[in-house]
Structure 1
Amino acid sequence: MIDTDPALFDGGRRLPLVEDFYTIQGEGFHAGKPAYFIRLGGCDVGCRWCDAKYTWNPRRYPPVDVQVVIDRALTCPARAIVITGGEPLLYPLDILTRTLHDRGLQIFLETSGTHPFSGRFDWVCLSPKRQQPPLDEAFRRAHELKVIVEREDDLQWAEQNAARVGDDCLLYLQPEWSVYERMMPLLVEYAKAHPQWNISIQTHKFMHIP
């Protein structure tokens, strides 16, 4: 159980920061876009293929004053912020996102959708997981649905989730990295037969950047 005691985070004035850095978004609709990443610790979903398992235990990351993070983000020449994790919706994000918005930055969220929303976002990328499906609210809020495909029957799971998002939500299939070469031909043919789907790849791994 992850400790999200409000007193620990002072209503979002402190958050368990894993890292923050300036890079290029590697996945989904905004792939190729320069952005400042804010990665928070803590996740209770536990995907076996997760490439950020080091974020799972928030106790490794003592709460940090969000103003410190905001000040660093404001020095970045890009005007896009990606809030990711871990699972960032474990925490109150109103202060962080409101302050960044007030300074003219766009805020993009990456989430599994397993916890209630807090904060203001210009773009929500929902990446649903079988073992802990998203809340109804997440489907309503999603601008982008990104389903990780590890095996062929994940395509059925993808369609189940696509049926729950809004008509304007963009749909992406992304091969799980360790089976990228094996799954890509299947995804290419599937997207060609079902052109409502796009293919996302982890371009940052090809670029050898964070």
Structure 2
Amino acid sequence: MSTMGPISEPLTVTYPIAETFHSLQGEGAWAGANAFFIRLGGCDVHCPWCDQKETWPSQHHPRQTVTELVQEAVTAKPSFVVITGGEPLMHNLQPLCQALKNQGLRLHLETSGAYPLTGQFDWITLSPKPYKLPQAEIYSLANELKVIISQEEDFSWAAMAATKVKADIPLYLQAEWGTEAANERIFAYILSHPQWRLSLQTHKYLGVR
């Protein structure tokens, strides 16, 4: 990974930032890996069980420039940078992605797919929601599919989404954190649908960011 060097794209582009932090990825195929998170403010998907509702109004969050965000990421020296939200694709991610890529950083995206893809990513975690339907083209670009389960009807939504992604990517079911029975439902479902895996929010169990 390179040290901070010249960046050719607009340095004054800003994004509403809910938080940035350096931790371990807690979910999915990269769970346990060293990651720097950039959580963007703004989301209109509005999942009723969302654990990041404070990110929904983008105007409530301070804005940071591309330069500031890249400097934080480079200083952290992570294995990869995760751009998440909120719904990060509400914003044009091209300036931020290009600047991070110019520093040799691997980029991961966590998205519901509700908006067109901008920026270049090494890994896309697609977590589609029925509350605001994904863009059709995002399914074929996903590197992993993660569906949140809070009620029985969510399994049908998961099954439908699985028919749209590439056949060789990992499929995850993840319990909505506040629904105690969800893990039991997922456990039983996976035993009869072996193409799926269980995703745990390990960072919450460990009590870390």
Q: CA deviation at 1:111?
A: 0.3
Does the CA contact (< 8 Å) of 1:12 and 1:95 recur in 2? Answer: no
Matches within 5 A, 1:135-150: 135-150=135-150
Letter in 2 for 1:196: Q
1:159 is matched with which residue? 159
* Higher alpha-carbon deviation: 100-109 or 34-43: 100-109
Q: Give per-residue Cα distances to partners, 1:155-176, cap 9 Å, x unaligned.
A: 1110011111111221100011
Mapping 1:18-57, distance limit 5 Å: 18-57=18-57
Whichever residue aligns with residue 197 of structure 2, its letter is N
Percent of residue pairs bearing the same amino acid type: 44
Q: Could you tell me which residue of structure 2 aligns to residue 78 of structure 1?
A: 78
TM-score (norm. length: structure 2): 0.91
Partner residue in 2 for 1:192 = 191
Name the structure 1 match of 2:200. 201
Query: Separation in 1 of the partners of 2:12 and 2:157?
Result: 34
Aligned residue type for 2:196: W
For residues 61 and 50 of structure 2, what CA distance do their matches in structure 1 show? 18
What CA distance in whole angstroms lies between the structure 2 residues aligned with 1:19 and 1:67? Answer: 16
Partner SS state of residue 95, structure 1: helix
Residue identity opposite 1:29 in structure 2: A
Question: Which residue pairs with 1:101 in the alignment?
Answer: 101
Give the drift of 1:185. 2.0
**In structure 2, what is the Cα distance between the partners aligned to 1:154 and 1:35?**
29
For residues 150 and 193 of structure 1, do their structure 2 counterparts lie closer, same or farther at Cα, with a shift above 3 Å needed? same
Structure 1 position 134, deviation (Å): 0.6
Deviations 1:89-128 (A, max 9, x none): 0111112112212222110100010001100100000111
Query: Unaligned stretches of 5+ in structure 2?
Result: 1-9
Q: Which runs of 4+ in 1 moved over 3 A?
A: none
Q: Distance in 2 between matches of 1:11 and 1:44?
A: 27
Equivalent residue letter for 1:197: W
- In structure 1, stretches of 5+ residues that fail to align are 1-9
Distance 1:162 1:116 in 2: 20
| Contact residue 11 and residue 65 of structure 2 kept, 8 A | no
Count of residues paired in the alignment:
200
**Partner of residue 15, structure 2:** 15
Distance 1:104 1:11, change over 3 A: closer
SS at match of 1:89: helix
> How far apart in 2 are the matches of 1:144 and 1:57?
27
Root-mean-square deviation (CA, aligned residues, Å) is 1.5
SS at match of 1:19: strand
How far the C-alpha of 1:11 sits from its partner, in A, is: 9.9
**Structure 2: distance between partners of 1:104 and 1:68:** 16
CA contact (8 A) 2:11 2:67 kept: no
Asked if the contact 1:12–1:94 (Cα under 8 Å) also holds between the matched residues in 2, the reply is no
**TM superposition score normalised by structure 1:** 0.91
- The alpha carbon displacement at 1:63 in A equals 2.7
Alignment partner, residue 112 of structure 1: 112
